[in-house]
Structure formats: structure tokens, C-alpha cells
Amino acid sequence: MGSNWSERRVVVTGLGCVSSLGTDADTVWRNILAGKCGVDRVTHFDITGYDCQIAAEVRGFDPTPGFPSPKEVRRTDRFTHFGVYAGWGALKDSGLDLEKENLDEIGVFIGSGIGGLQTTEEQHKILLAKGPGRVSPFMIPMLILNMASGLFALYHRLRGPNFATCSACATSNHAIGEAWATIKRGDASVMFAGGTEATIVPLGMSGFAAMRAMSTRNDDPQRSSRPFDRDRDGFVMGEGAAVLVLEELDHALKRGARIYCEVLGYGNTCDANHMTSPDPEGSGAARAIQMALRHAGIASDTVDYVNAHATSTPAGDMCEVRALQRVFGSHAQNLAVSSTKGATGHMLGAAGGIESVICCKAVEAQVAPPTLNLDNPDPACTLNCVPNTPQERRIDVFLNDSFGFGGHNAVLIGRRFRG
């Protein structure tokens, strides 16, 4: 592997995902364009008495194709099921033949915002009911949030760089950005990167609801997540995972890989403002966007599409609009800016991953996906937020931004591949 940072180009050659809208990228994309919404009443457990009773659940999911044996499935948490399956899907989609690869040069960054919350909850009940001697010896490896990354590498003998990012809802974009940088500096030729989350459990639902962060539109689940809409009242929890295969360009060309797009830039900043609230002026987000543009070496007016973080919270969506207006100036009016969380719910640590998959498909199709339930745009939002219906348009350059509790901002820029 070479080491000239500036000359190494990084492309996306594989997409894998699990969400309420499907368990592969093509199905998710078709459902997004068709205006389908994955939000409904919670069925994983008895939701009676909870303030928020709706979520974008993954239903009827069988993780076993991604695992070496059913026993391995039983020894892992649901968030690991999602992450390993999405990685397996990305591997299949990429066409990589691992028998022919140097596995020392293939790494994995699959992050999670929260990790094995279901295991934490179940094992704590066992501790209280039956005592410490009955707690599972698999509890710790089941709940620690690096396990999806570690096990996916183990199952495929991938010995390159490996860790799990954890930055709340910015997790996936940090994973993909750090994977990009890892390939750029010559430490790997291929990276699997993204995020996974499984927090639709009693503890997760009650904890976020206690923060008054979630929508309580329980009587109308399909219309509850409404990014940029005047009547938005909080985010809707989603679950699932998304993993992308990032690859050094020459490596991809040599094996004749299909290339979805080229990753050009990555920005990473902190608001240093508040534990959970974004900077009201969006200045931290704006600096992350500017950093990504600087890395990409492109002018702001070359960006065509923004997949916005907009989660459908009253404060957060407008902070993001202000950040975009600050960076793009008059060009902001030319952008298509959509939030696909109206369809997928907010997948927390997996959000940037599924949204990066959607960006790749948007470039491929030359279509900006819609923002569902945007019926009455917030008067403070003057941007084209692609209300309810996809827009066919030229998309050469896309921007995907994610912001997390703790003030984390992570921004990715990609471009339609040019040989």
C-alpha cells in the first residue's frame, strides 16, 4: 500500500442495511421513493402506559444468513445481529472475493450509539430476581458496543484496522469518515464502515420519552415523524443497521467493482454547547460542513443534494437549517435538502449509515428522495426540503450530515464517480 494521502481516492463499492423499510439497499430505496413509512405502534413488547407508543421496528428479521451458526446468533444481542447482517449484505453487494484478498488490509468500523440495551435490561432483571450467580457469562460480550465490529471481522478473518465509533447519532458518519481517512493514509485497502442500533426496548423507549425528545402522536404513527414541518413534536425511534464497503480506487478498478460514488470529504467538530441541545445558531455543524468541503477541495456551490439529519424535533431541525444557510449562502436555495427520517424513523447510531446508503442510491438514480409528512413547512425553513414526493434532478455532489448528543457533528461529502 502506498502512503501519499492526497493521491489515494476512496470509492463506495458495496451497500448493506437492515431497517423498517427492508433488509437490502434496493428494497429500502424503492420504499423511500414510494413514500412508504416504517413507523407503527410498537409490537416488540407491551407498550401500554408509555408516553410514546410508536417506533420504526424491524419485524420478522432473520439474522442467521450473516452468521456462521445459529449458536452465534443466540450468543449475541440484537444490535449485533443487525450490524453483522448489514456487513454481510455489503460484502455480498460489493462482489469482493475474500479468498483472493489480503485480509490484513481489510478493516471494520461498525459503531453503535448505545450497544446491547436489550441484554442490559434482560440481565439486570435476572440479577434482581435470581441473584448474581445466574447472570449470563455472555452478558458483557453481548452488550459492549464494539462487538458488531469485532465479530464481523472475526467471522470473515478481517485483520485490518478495527474499532467501534460511539458518538450518539453521529456514530455512523464518524465510522465512515474515519474509514475514508484510514484508506487515504494507506492503512487499509478496503474498509467496512457504518453503524447499528437496537433500542426499541422498554428502557430505551422510556428513557428517551422522559427527555421529552420523542413524538407522542400515538394515534397517527405513519404521520408522526415530520422533519421541517411546523407541527413536528419530536423524533420517532428507529432500529437497524447500515454498512458501506469503502475501497481504494485502484483496488476497486483492478477487480472490476461497481462503483456507487467517490467519498471526497469528512468533517468532524464539536458544539461544546450543551449535553443534549445543539448549538442554536448551528455554528458547530457549519464548521463541520466547511471542514468536509475543505477536505473535498470543492466549492460550496457545487453541492446538489443534502441528506439532512433533521430528526423532527422542534429545535434541532431549525439549527440545521441555519447551519446550511450559513455555509451555502444564496446557493442554499438551489439545494435539494431532504430528511428521510420521516420514513425510517431515527436510527440513532445507525442513522448516518442508512442515510449514506440513500445518498449512494440518490446519485445512482439522479433522484432526491422525499421528506415524508412535510405538509406545512416551518416558516423559518425557506429551503427546498423535497416535500412528500421525490424530485428528479442532477445530483453530482451530495452532503450527508449527522449530529449527536454531546455536541458531535460529522459530515460526509460524496460525488458521482468520474473515472
* 116 neighbors 147 (Cβ within 8 angstroms): yes
Catalytic residue among 346, 359, 360, 385: 346
In the numeric block, which cell numbers belong to residue 317? 431541525
Q: Which of 169, 359, 360, 381 is catalytic?
A: 169
- Report which of 392, 333, 398 is spatially closest to residue 368, judged by C-alpha positions: 392
Q: Contact, 205 vs 252, CB < 8 A?
A: no
Contact between 320 and 310 under an 8 Å Cβ cutoff? The reply is yes
Task: Mark whether 52 is an active-site residue.
Answer: no
Rg (CA), the chain: 20
Give dist(CA 204, CA 231) in Å, integer: 24
Active site residue: 174, 309, 381, 408, which one?
Answer: 309
CB 157 within 8 A of CB 74: no
**Contact status, residue 51 vs residue 208, Cβ threshold 8 Å:** no
Q: Whole-angstrom distance between the N-terminal and C-terminal Cα of the chain?
A: 21
Distance CA 304, CA 399 (A): 8
CA 157, distance to chain mean position in Å, is: 25
Cβ partners under 8 Å of residue 339, min gap 6? 227, 228, 307, 308, 309, 310, 311, 312, 317, 371, 385
Q: Which element (helix H / strand E) includes 325?
A: helix 314-328
Active site (annotated) includes residue 169:
yes
> Is 37 noted as a catalytic residue in this protein?
no
| Residues known to be catalytic | 169, 309, 346
